Amino acid sequence: MARPASPITLQPGDALIIVDVQNDFLPGGSLAVPRGDEVVAPLNTLIARCTRLRLPVIATRDWHPQDHCSFHARSGPWPPHCIAGTPGAAFAPALALPESATIVSKAVTADVDAYSGFGGTDLHDRLQAAGVRRLFVGGLATDYCVLNTVRDGLANGYAVILLTDAIRAVDVTPGDGQRAIDEMARLGAHPIASVDIRNPA
Ligand code: VGL
Ligand code: ZN
């Protein structure tokens, strides 16, 4: 049987980072990511595996005020989305987040945007406190919040595994998602399909 040359095995010091799997980013939402709903099944499988191994599961969420600077009304690039407390900002109902999951809200003030889960949050402190050294990152969207979260994770000294089957791109310009994947790999992230990740022996 062929197997990956360098298998990735879940181990202590690993954490799963689920980026912005929120209703507004799913089909039917105000800033729908094409096929964004397809990240939920592979993420649920990994959530279950990490929970069994007692590895931290962290979910970031875009959590904007009504008058956020990224919205068209303020000459920003996006339609209104993920307004704090609204159904659109809620996690996808099918996402099986455990009770123990840590939720990190970002871009919560009107005049600052943050595509990265590390931007203006305590994510790094929380990961350090939990002894995390390696991040498994999936979610939405590949070309915005996943890209920037992975970039900051690497800059903060974490090893980063990019879950290629658990990300989807906005693709404002066709190819943006693939370019983001290439950029993350160039920066040192390891792209891998979640099915190729092993459990400890
Ligand atoms: C995102 C656009 C605007 C994301 C957030 O989560 O990737 N994209 N706000
Ligand atoms: Zn946003």
Ligand 1 atom showing the smallest separation from residue 145 Cα: 7
* DSSP code, position 45: H
Better pLDDT: 1 or 13: 13
For residues 59 and 57, what is the distance between their CA atoms, to the nearest angstrom? 7
| 159 alpha carbon – ligand 2 mean position (Å) | 25
- Is-contact 108 84, C-beta < 8 A? yes
Distances (CA, A) of 85 to 78, 89, 93: 19, 6, 15
State pLDDT tens for residues 105-150: 999 999 999 999 999 999 999 999 999 999 999 999 999 999 999 9
User: What CATH number corresponds to the domain at position 154?
Assistant: 3.40.50.850
State pLDDT tens for residues 33-75: 999 999 999 999 999 999 999 999 999 999 999 999 999 999 9
In a domain, 184, yes or no: yes
- Which residue's C-alpha comes closest to atom 6 of ligand 1? 145
Answering whether pTM is above 0.80, one says yes
Mean per-residue pLDDT of the chain: 97
- The ipTM estimated for the assembled molecules is 0.98
For residues 18 and 127, what is the distance between their CA atoms, to the nearest angstrom? 14
Please count the structural domains in the chain: 1
For residues 59 and 17, what is the distance between their CA atoms, to the nearest angstrom? 6
- What's the domain range around 47? 12-61+91-195
In a domain, 102, yes or no: yes
* Predicted confidence band of residue 201 (pLDDT cuts 50, 70, 90): confident
In a domain, 124, yes or no: yes
Q: Which amino acid is at 46?
A: L
Q: Which amino acid is at 109?
A: T
Residue numbers annotated as active site: 20, 106, 145
Q: How many CA atoms lie within 13 A of 171 on its CB side?
A: 12
| 116 alpha carbon – ligand 1 mean position (Å) | 9
